[in-house]
Amino acid sequence: MSSEKAKLAVVALDNEIQRNLTDYLNEIFGGVVDITSFNVHNTKGPIYDYPIVLTSSTIWVDDAKQIFPLSEIIPGHRIINGLNLEKVILLPKNKKVLVASSFKYVSVETIKSLIDLGIDHVEYVPYGANDVINLQDFDTAITPGLSQFCPKGIKTIIDIGPRIIDVITFLDLLSKLKLDVSYLTRFVNYYTKLLMHSSQKLANIFSKSELLRKERDIILDTMDEGIITVNEDNRLSLINPSAAKIFNISIEQIIGTDATKFFQRLGFPNELKDASTRKPILDTIVNSQGKDIVCNEIPIVDDERKYHIYMFKEVSQLQKLENEVRRKLNTKGYIAKYNFSDIWGKNEKMMFVKERAKTFADTENTILITGESGTGKELFAQAIHLNSRRRNGPFLAINFASITESLVESELFGYEGGAFTGAKRDGKLGLFEQAHGGTLFLDEIGDSPLCIQARLLRVLQEKEIMKVGGDKVIPVNVRVIAATNKDLAECVEKNLFRADLYYRLNVLSIETPPLREHKEDIFLYLNRYISSKYRIDIEFSEKIKETLLAYNWPGNVRELINIADFIYYSAKGRNIIESKDIPMYMKKAIEKYETTNNDKKSLTIQNKDEIEIIYKIIDIINNTKTGSLGRPKLKDELMKRNIKMTDYAIKKYLEHLDSMGFIVTGKTKQGTKLTRKGIQILIDMNKNSG
């Protein structure tokens, strides 16, 4: 062989294909051949410098003859190199796959190479860069090293690498170039190496699949839930030990049997017997062999088959598990105990508040519950949680009136280890983190320190906290329910409560009525409480009924429950309750009230304008939906009636009405309320004006 290098021209249409073929041949021949590539459309002949010409495809033979009229033309037959073939092999059967390249003929040749290798389980669709095609049918594309020509929007691209010439073309090339046959060994080794690389990947995938199968078997064998799989032929294809135990069956005897007959034999209802004629089953309770069983079905669909996986759990086991979880949570105090059924009352106002609370429970909004002490604000908070989407999450509470200012921050937000003297080494989770996914009840929010109010506002706005001594922001998903016995609007006016936090909390508001506004419920509460706690039924004498109704109940329902315990022990097992069975302080309070009010005069203000103002004040309070009114709101309502008054003047009028027994201003900042005497005065004035 001459020491002068053999010369070879490579002809292709695409620049990428020219480069790939040239690089590949240079690697095989190791520099003993001078290889130059030409673009079939950008090259003009005649060219006489290259005795041997290799085309990238048989389609370019005639064009090559025009450019190289005296050269020996070798038609190129190319095959795929094996790169990423395992990804193609693992595609689902009958899946539609785009085969994309610069020109459609290249895609067609690529498809032929894949089919020649026996990879024919998918539906190949050829695509050239200039083709118009509906891409909605495709999420996967295969390309022979030309991924830049894949259409945009394709989710998965499998690049199988540039195609190389086949062995016949290579032998022809060796012969024409007059090269030693030893180069064939290089070619074979190169191609074998590529195929072995794909084979190794397939072996690794198989190994992982086998490991996953073993892991699946271990999981299925140890699961408490019973698992039964029904294949596309409606045959039982898998049953785990838990299912065999639940239904008292032998896996070996029933595997592969008809699923419909199996379910029928177990006494399942008709809608569960045939999976092909119904919707999936979710949390359906069936009775089989005397056991109540919760059944769920998951349909699994791929491109060629549809399976059905059934999951079973005995109700008794679920109840046992639930009781254990609730017991542990109850020990930690992380659950709500009271539901709406535990909030008694037939009074129209109470019924309205309960219905509103039920409606609010189904939202994710912050709720503010206002009301005097002892009116059941925490009961409402717990009931709202149990009827919300967070019912399965934790319920935690903090009372700002019973915790010192120095501790409240670390209780709410937690702290990092060593954040302050006495801190735990590992730090502490705050209530917001512990309540993640559930509800946090902020009781007596009106007593929260101003410095804490600013941090609470950030949590409500940003849904994130930072621990004391920490530098990381922690996202939290917590619903907040706040409660107070204070008039927060008045606290805002006095700069005792942040206005921005008040408006952030007061998204949905509920006011729990004091007992004196629904006294008809007194005997319902007493009877139910004593009956449920002491297992006896009681009756009340007419005198004791008058006494209980005359009492003002400043401690509300909480006080009433204490009275119920007193009555039970005072009556010593008697079923009829009399006046002597109530505490002495109640009798004295009633006597003092009646004496004071009997001594008070009726409305005797001489000035006609003053009498008109007092009448309007009483009328405004009476027409307030909540039954109570703060001074700022009263001032606004008077302005609407063209009565301009200073805060001082309004205060004096209210003090006068209070001294006359017509209103109660209250010490808990719940606003001004009419007494029965005030209501009667209003009725009398309406009659007189009529």
Q: Could you read off the pLDDT of 152-191 as tens digits, one per residue? A: 888 889 988 888 888 888 888 888 888 887 888 878 777 7
Give the phi and the psi of residue 78 in degrees, each rounded to 5: -115, 150
Listed range (89-98, 629-638, 664-673) with the worst mean pLDDT:
664-673
pLDDT at 43 over 80: yes
**Between 260 and 301, where is the model more confident?**
260
Give the C-alpha separation, 344 to 362, whole Å. Answer: 21
pLDDT score of 685 more than 50:
yes
Q: What is the pLDDT of residue 668?
A: 45
Q: Taking phi first (over 0 means left), then psi (-120 to 50 degrees means alpha), and beta for anything else, what does residue 170 get?
A: alpha
Please report the pLDDT score of residue 238 as a whole number. Answer: 87
Segment 344-366, tens digit of pLDDT: 888 888 999 999 999 999 999 99
Choose the weakest-confidence range: 30-44, 262-276, 393-407, 511-525. Answer: 262-276
Computed over every residue of the chain, the mean pLDDT equals: 82
d(CA 482, CA 369): 6
- Read off the DSSP letter of residue 151: P
Interval 391-412 mean pLDDT: 89
DSSP state letter for 275: G
C-alpha 56/C-alpha 63 separation (Å) is 12
Domain 223-317 is in which class? alpha beta
Nearest to 679 by CA among 669, 687, 667: 687
| C-beta separation of 560 from 515 below 8 A | yes
Architecture of domain 334-511: 3-Layer(aba) Sandwich (3.40)
pLDDT at 603: 46
6-79+171-196 has which fold?
Answer: Rossmann fold (3.40.50)
Least confident range from 236-245, 387-396, 480-489: namely 236-245
Two structure tokens written together for 227:
């698992």
* Cα distance between residue 308 and residue 603, in whole Å: 81
Q: Which two tokens stand for residue 39?
A: 């673009």
Task: Tokens 């003297």: give the residue.
Answer: 421
Instruction: Specify the pLDDT at position 304.
Output: 54
Residue 1 pLDDT exceeds 60? no
Gap between the Cα atoms of 652 and 634, Å rounded: 13
250 has a pLDDT exceeding 70: yes
Global confidence as pTM = 0.45
Give yes or no for residue 114 having a pLDDT over 80.
yes
Which CATH number is associated with domain 602-689?
1.10.10.10
Fold of 515-595: Helicase, Ruva Protein; domain 3 (1.10.8)
Model confidence pLDDT, tens digit, residues 48-87: 989 999 998 888 899 999 999 999 999 988 887 777 888 8
Q: Which of 230-234, 303-307, 608-612, 628-632 has the highest mean pLDDT?
A: 230-234
pLDDT, greater one: 592 or 161? 161
Q: Which of 65-74, 104-113, 115-124, 280-289 has the lowest mean pLDDT?
A: 280-289
Long-range contacts, 577-585 (Cβ 8 Å, 24+): 577/538, 577/539, 577/540, 577/541, 577/544, 578/541, 578/543, 578/544, 579/541, 579/543, 579/544, 579/547, 581/544, 582/544, 582/547, 582/548
